[in-house]
Structures are given as C-alpha cells and as structure tokens.
Structure 1
C-alpha cells in the first residue's frame, strides 16, 4: 500500500467535486416528482444510451471481469454475447409496452394483471437485487482504493456512499443520467489507458501477451460440452440471456429510463446504443485481464508479493511466516484475480495517471449505485407507500418521501458493501445473488405478458413452486454429505434459468389444466 501523490488526490477531488456540483445544478429543476423520476421526458436517445451503457459498465465489470479473465479465461464475455437477443426482445415488446402504460414503476401492471401481491412480490425481489448490486459495487471499489490509499475498506465505502447519496438526492434521475454520460466516457478512456500501460510495460509487447495467452488457454470462452454443472459457455450464455432479459425488460433502473426519453423511438435507440458500446468494451476488459496475467507471468516476483499479501489477509493476525508461506503457495490465480488490477496500479502506473484511472473506477461505481438508489426510491414511493399507506399524498410530500427513500437505499447499500468484505470474487457474488433474486420476478412477468389466460390463483401456484425450487437450488449445496442425494448439482448461475422457467411453465400447465376442466364440465352427460 502507498499514499497517493498530491496530483492524483487532486484529480480525484476535482472529479468528486464535479459530481456534487452536477447534483446541485439539477437540484434547481427538481421541483416535482415528474422531474425527479422521469426528467419530464426530455432526455435524447444518444444520452440515454450512454447512460444505460454506464450502468451496465459498473465496477463489477471494471474490476470483476479482468479478475475473472486473469484467474480463468474469457468465459465472462459470453454474458455480453447474449445481450443482442435480449435487447431485441426489449426493443420490440417491452419499450412499447411501458411507454403505452405511462406508469413510472415497472411493477404497477402486475397488480392489474394478478393482484396487489404480485406487484409487492416483484418490488421485494427488485429491492433485494439492488441491495446485492450496490453492495457488490461498494465492495469492489473499496477493494481497489484500499490498495492505493491504505485506508480501510469500511472508511472508503462510507465516504463514497455519502458523496453518492448527496448528488443523487439533489439531482434526481436527470442528474444521474447526465453524470452517467460523462462517467461512461471516463470509464472507457480509463480502460484503454490501463491496457496501453500494460502493453508498454510488457517485455515483448502484444506478441508476448498472445503467446502466453494461447499457451495457458486464456482466450477460451469456456467448455462447449453440454455440462450445466460448471461455468461452461452454455451456462453463462443462458444466465446472460435471462439476466439481460430481466435488466431490459423489468429492472426499474432501465424501465424508468424508457420514460425519460422524448419518444419510444429514442428509447429503442438507447437500448441498441448500449449494446453497441458495451459488447466491445466488455471484451476490452477481458483483454486487460489476460494481459495482466501475461505481465505477472513474466514478473513472478510480483506474483509472489501479491500471493503473500492475500495470504496475510486470509490468516489471523500474528500468523507465522511458515503458515503464511504455506497458504501463499497454495493460492491459484482465481484466488487473487480481483486484487491484480489494484496491485498493478500501485506498482506500475505513474503519478497523475493513477488519479485518472481511480476516477474512472469511481465513476464505474457511482453511476450504477446512484441509478440504483433513484430506482429503489421510486418503486418504494409508487409501489409500497402510495399503495398501502397514503394514496392521496401530495406532490411536495412525495418529493420528501423520494429524498428520504434515496438516503435509506444508499445506507442499505453501504451496509451490504461492508458485509461483503472478504468474499472471493466480486463478480461471482453479484452473479449469484442477482440470479437468486431476479428469477422469480422475471418468471412472473413473462407469465403475465405471454399467457393472457393465466389468472391470479394460477400465478400464486406458479410463484410458490418457483420459490421452492429457487430455495432448493440455492441452499441444498449446504446440506451435509449424507443428504447429498437431494443436493442441487447445477451451477449457481442456473438458478435464474431454472427458477424463471419453473414459474412460467408451471403457470402455463396449471392454466391448461383449468381450461380442460372447464371444457370437460361443459360437455353434457349422456342420459
């Protein structure tokens, strides 16, 4: 660890100050809930597209994808390959649907379709997903900044959280979107800068990186065998399609943005712009991970130092040098992948440029967390408070409620981030938690949209069965060995796939059985 030079600290301070000033600037316009939640439908499609791209390009991508590529291969990029198909479904079906309803919450229509329970269930799933997302992002940014500054991860999470809460509360969705436009550009530039520095410091340059990558199979997208028990190409492809369908189709972060566009055409344009930007940039982060792997292969002394640091962190204070050496020797690249980029920044990136890259990482965290806070506050206001406590709330009272709910969401995210300190992989924990919380929500949504004949009680049966399956898939691996026969052996990324299909197909089957029963009872009996 080291203290950042004054120049780097100045760059970071200027960036944070600029974000706060943006919040203050837009606070002058946030005089109504329509402005706070929808920006009065004034955002152009190109800005909205960069905003959605910046939300996707969180610190989970900035730090997690290089960490996974360093430790394994390019299997994580398969997630991005699934995006175009999910984007097509969103552009063709979801955007017209939401723009037609005009409802700022993505979940209001579920009450019209199945009843209040369905709306509340989806909101709970969404809020839990946001909690996991914000927590994992706070953790990821703290992991990086700790290596650079020496400050504790808890302090970093608290300081970051306070800054994000202030500008999100002040500026509303319009401030979030326009800061994300700037942040998306900063993040992309930061990634290119990191790759350039790695290559220029690499003996042998690009050709050496390619040689080592081919030799150690670092460019593979994963196994193509029909295996759903490990993170194969097919597992990540299925996970990516379902989670991206959930993102574009019913995640409040994205649905709320559709309403900020000046027209449906601009909203559709924003989705495709996001895909065009995110897919190649996510590949760029895989390239960064493989390049870092090659760099550390030709500098084994840096690898040993990094292993030693990780071993010290894992052991209790006062561990002997022998014990530290034993644990360090047993570590594999996937055990310390998330720490490689911060370590490289500490040792090899010159003063001044570190501040720019840290600002890029900060922007990666701030864009996603701020949008999550705003979206969480919106659904709490629309789907919980107005629905169950005070339907006739005034616009001024709603604004106060939105501000308070934003603060509560931010504090909850801070607590979740602190709770995640010590996890092995930030990308793994985010993928696992999002799959668990989003599966039921997506299955219910698809059932309501596709199966027009499904009624309330059939949806309840479907959700009940789906929740039981998701709980079994999530918790059964923790069972003792003597209960191994009832364990779920599928990869955890399959939870959202199986959970969604279980809810949807159960609803379809129960609906068909009801229709057959009605048809049979309508046939007159022969005397």
Structure 2
C-alpha cells in the first residue's frame, strides 16, 4: 500500500488508542467505567447504537448478500422499528428503574440465581460469537487490500481495541463509536459515489430489477425457506434481544441523563441505520451490475475464489464471491489517500462493536459471576481492577473465536445462525418474567429445559438422522426457542398447584 494510506490507518489507530488514554484519567470508579456516570448526551448514545449495528458484518456481509443473491436480508432492517417501539415503550424504563447495571440481576429475584447465570452464559457466548465474526470480517477485508496474514490482522486489531477499551471504559467506547459511525457512513458514501461515477444509477436499477436483485423474498407465509416473513420474524426477535436483553444496549441506557433520553436514543439508532443499511444493499446490487459491464475487473477475484473453494472457473456463481467482493472493488478502484480513509472506515466497522462487547461482557462477569459467587465485598478499586482484567480476557477470547471463524462461507449466515442459537433462551426467560407475573421458579426451570431442547433440535437438525429432519428455516430458531419458553412457562404456572 502507498505510504499515505498506511499513514492514515496508523493515525486512525493511534487516535482510537489516544481516546482511550484520554478518558482513562476519569476512570477512577466502577460507575465511571461501566456507565460514564450517566452523563452521556442522547444523540451520542444513539450514534453509539448505530455504530454497533453498522458492524463489519454489515459493511461486508450486506453487499456480499445482495451481490450474490437479492435484498432478502434487508427485511431484518425493516423489522427494527417494530422491535424499537416495544423496547423503548416498555423495556427502557424497566431497566432504568431497577437501578442495576447488569441486565440480569432482576432474573435472580424472579427465578433464582440459576436464571441469572444461564442468561449471563448465553450473553457471553453471543458476544464471543459476535466478536469472532467481526474480527474475521475485518481480517478478510484487510487481507484482500494488503496481503497480510488473516490471523496476524485479527491479533493486531484485537490488541488495539483491547487497549482503548481497558483504559477508557464505557465513555471511551461511546465517543470512539461516534467517530467510527461518521467514518463508516462516509466510507459507504464514498464507495457508492465511485460506483455511480462509473455506471449510471438508472442502469443499476433497470438491470437490478431485470435480474430480480431487489427482491425481498416471497411474501407467501412460508416457514421452510428464507421468505420475507421468516427474515422479518427473525429480525423482530433478534432486535428485541438487542434492545431488550443485550447488556451491550442496556448498559448504555444507564449512561443516559434521563429515561426519555435513553428511549430517544433507540429511535435515533433506527433513523440512522435504516437508510444506511439500504445503501449497503444497494452497493452490492450496484457492484453486481458494475462487474457485468466490466467483467475483466473481477477476473483476479474469480481466479482466487476458484482456487480457494476448488470450484471450476466456469462454475462460479455470484454467491461464491460473498464477503470478498467489496474489498476487491476497494483495492482496485479507490485512489490513494481515499483508500486509507476507507481502510480506517473498515477498521472502525469492526472496532465499534467489539469494544462495547468487551466492556459489557466484563461488566456481567463482575456483577453476575465474580461478585455473586466469589467476592461480594470488593472495594470500588478492586472492582475496577477486575473489570479491566476481564476486558482483556474477553478480548483475547474474541481473537481466538475470530481465528476459529476462518473459512466461513458467509459472515452474515454464520452470525445469524449463532445469534439465533444463543438469543432464544435469553429473550424467552426475560419475557416470561416480564409478562407472566404468576410464573415462579419451577415454571421457569421447566420452560428453559423445553426451550433449550427445541433450540438444540433446530440447531443440530442437519446432523440428525434423516427421519428426524425438519425443513423449517434455521433462522426461526430464536423465535421457536423464545415462544417455547414463554408458552411452557405460562402453562406450568397456570396448571401447577405449587412451586419449588
């Protein structure tokens, strides 16, 4: 890469680490480290949420999907306002009124310590899966642009995120995410502008419709394929998890100056994310049309994918290029200087989500595990030390998960599958406690066992004997897991005469 582009990337990384060290001067208490002492303005929290949604999975996975197939995954974004309505109306005030930093403390009061530990485990596994997927996503992009080894990229970017998260705490996480949100949006606009400079938007739209690239999937209520309704249901439940159960988001509700500000931050996130998500899917379709007009420009990527996947050149399909198509375009079409800016945008797409995942995972480790089972009487300084050590450990585990992701065909598919497995149990038990007031410990235990069995059955479907297979789309795992826990819990609480 040219020296100018490398200099821009290095300056960006130094700036992110510098923000961490700047805010480290304030981090003298756990309240400051975990909630920034509830002094963050509403707009900054909304930008922070937006940056978390606009991760490297979105940056690479969404264009890869619309390039290889159509706009069916965009339905996930369409479902966001519906989940945001319920979350802002009911969940935000509930969490703010508890006064607890951990999202899961109230579950112990409702059902016992096992419920708190179970949901904490689901959350941590979800965050590790998220960090691993994003680490690998950014490594794919940087590998395509620089040729550096993927494991090396994962380790280097991971260490940078760990440093500014450990020193800066939640305030550094939020303000770096504000910067990263701006960078990522500028990067997307730059890519789209360069494509539109080469090929007219009218041509993209006409040829896209001719090839059915703008399809949102069949509107028939079909649960056995990735129809509009399957993705909508998946998106609604996952976004309920995000806004209603995920410590990443709930912890940031506590950084707001008021409950109203926290509620508004959710809607700001939706307003920011929907049009930008639309833009990323349009970029994928635009690249499909672009390379149809200039097929010689994709020849190098074609050869690479053919060798990597052992597929003959004449048998390659657009879906086979997946997450590599956008990095290939960036590498070959972005001029010097702007390439460094885009690389910084790609790095920010990874860093924003990973920093908040590390911080929130460390928080639940301290509150829901370490203080609950080992040391309840920690001083504030000791708590801060545990938070920093836990942040480092979760960051290192995220790096390991990222290296383990190597070889995944589609980042979006991998993330959707893993989040569906872990999220169903979290949302189900939360809704049981929130909606079914009569539910007690026994009802919750029976419900979670039933839910885990359903989630396990749907997740392991492809490994089961043929006569046990179900053709349900695997994205419905989160919905069926949640509804099973909620339904079984309600039935047990209704017909059971006494509780444990």
Same fold (TM over 0.5): yes
Asked if the contact 1:55–1:367 (Cα under 8 Å) also holds between the matched residues in 2, the reply is: yes
Rounded Cα–Cα distance in structure 1 between residues aligned with 2:284 and 2:429 = 37
Counterpart pick for 1:214 among 209, 218, 230: 209
Counterpart pick for 2:234 among 235, 239, 244: 239
The answer on 1:61 being equivalent to 2:58 is yes
Rounded Cα–Cα distance in structure 2 between residues aligned with 1:297 and 1:255 = 45
Counterpart pick for 2:388 among 403, 407, 416: 403
Asked if the contact 1:307–1:329 (Cα under 8 Å) also holds between the matched residues in 2, the reply is: no
How far is 1:511 from its partner? 1.3
Query: What is aligned with 1:494?
Result: 476
Query: What is aligned with 2:91?
Result: 94
Query: Deviation per CA, 1:231-259, whole angstroms, max 9, x where unpaired?
Result: 11111000000000000001000000000
With normalisation by structure 1, the TM-score equals: 0.93
Counterpart pick for 2:270 among 261, 271, 275: 275
Query: What is aligned with 2:5?
Result: 8
Counterpart pick for 1:39 among 36, 39, 43: 36
Counterpart pick for 2:436 among 451, 457, 460: 451
Rounded Cα–Cα distance in structure 1 between residues aligned with 2:256 and 2:386 = 24
Rounded Cα–Cα distance in structure 2 between residues aligned with 1:466 and 1:364 = 33
How far is 1:36 from its partner? 0.1
Asked if the contact 2:59–2:349 (Cα under 8 Å) also holds between the matched residues in 1, the reply is: yes
Matches within 5 A, 1:274-293: 274-293=269-288
Query: What is aligned with 1:319?
Result: none
Rounded Cα–Cα distance in structure 2 between residues aligned with 1:382 and 1:330 = 53
Rounded Cα–Cα distance in structure 1 between residues aligned with 2:314 and 2:452 = 42
The answer on 1:365 being equivalent to 2:350 is yes
Rounded Cα–Cα distance in structure 2 between residues aligned with 1:457 and 1:233 = 37
Asked if the contact 1:472–1:488 (Cα under 8 Å) also holds between the matched residues in 2, the reply is: no
Query: Deviation per CA, 1:351-386, whole angstroms, max 9, x where unpaired?
Result: 111111111111111000000000000000000000
Asked if the contact 2:55–2:134 (Cα under 8 Å) also holds between the matched residues in 1, the reply is: yes
How far is 1:33 from its partner? 0.2
Asked if the contact 2:322–2:409 (Cα under 8 Å) also holds between the matched residues in 1, the reply is: no
Asked if the contact 1:447–1:504 (Cα under 8 Å) also holds between the matched residues in 2, the reply is: yes
Counterpart pick for 2:373 among 367, 376, 388: 388
Query: What is aligned with 2:330?
Result: 345
Rounded Cα–Cα distance in structure 1 between residues aligned with 2:227 and 2:5 = 41
- Secondary structure (helix, strand or coil) at the match of 2:212 reads coil
Asked if the contact 1:466–1:502 (Cα under 8 Å) also holds between the matched residues in 2, the reply is: yes
Query: What is aligned with 1:379?
Result: 364
With normalisation by structure 2, the TM-score equals: 0.98
The answer on 1:164 being equivalent to 2:161 is yes
Counterpart pick for 1:125 among 109, 122, 126: 122
Query: What is aligned with 1:257?
Result: 252
Rounded Cα–Cα distance in structure 2 between residues aligned with 1:302 and 1:421 = 26
**Which runs of 5 or more residues in structure 2 are unaligned?**
none
The answer on 1:294 being equivalent to 2:279 is no
The answer on 1:142 being equivalent to 2:139 is yes
User: Larger deviation: 414-423 or 301-310?
Assistant: 301-310
How far is 1:40 from its partner? 0.3
Query: What is aligned with 1:174?
Result: 171
Query: Deviation per CA, 1:145-194, whole angstroms, max 9, x where unpaired?
Result: 00100001000000000000000000000000011111111111110010
The answer on 1:199 being equivalent to 2:173 is no
Rounded Cα–Cα distance in structure 2 between residues aligned with 1:489 and 1:295 = 36
Query: What is aligned with 2:397?
Result: 412
Asked if the contact 2:91–2:244 (Cα under 8 Å) also holds between the matched residues in 1, the reply is: yes
Rounded Cα–Cα distance in structure 1 between residues aligned with 2:331 and 2:87 = 41
Rounded Cα–Cα distance in structure 2 between residues aligned with 1:69 and 1:151 = 27
How far is 1:226 from its partner? 1.7
Asked if the contact 1:296–1:303 (Cα under 8 Å) also holds between the matched residues in 2, the reply is: yes
How far is 1:214 from its partner? 1.1
Query: What is aligned with 1:430?
Result: 415
4+ long deviations beyond 6 Å: none
How far is 1:305 from its partner? 2.7
Rounded Cα–Cα distance in structure 2 between residues aligned with 1:162 and 1:328 = 38
How far is 1:304 from its partner? 3.5
How far is 1:24 from its partner? 0.4
Query: What is aligned with 2:489?
Result: 507
Rounded Cα–Cα distance in structure 2 between residues aligned with 1:40 and 1:104 = 11
Counterpart pick for 1:225 among 192, 197, 220: 220
Rounded Cα–Cα distance in structure 1 between residues aligned with 2:73 and 2:232 = 9
- Secondary structure (helix, strand or coil) at the match of 2:96 reads helix
Asked if the contact 1:37–1:378 (Cα under 8 Å) also holds between the matched residues in 2, the reply is: yes
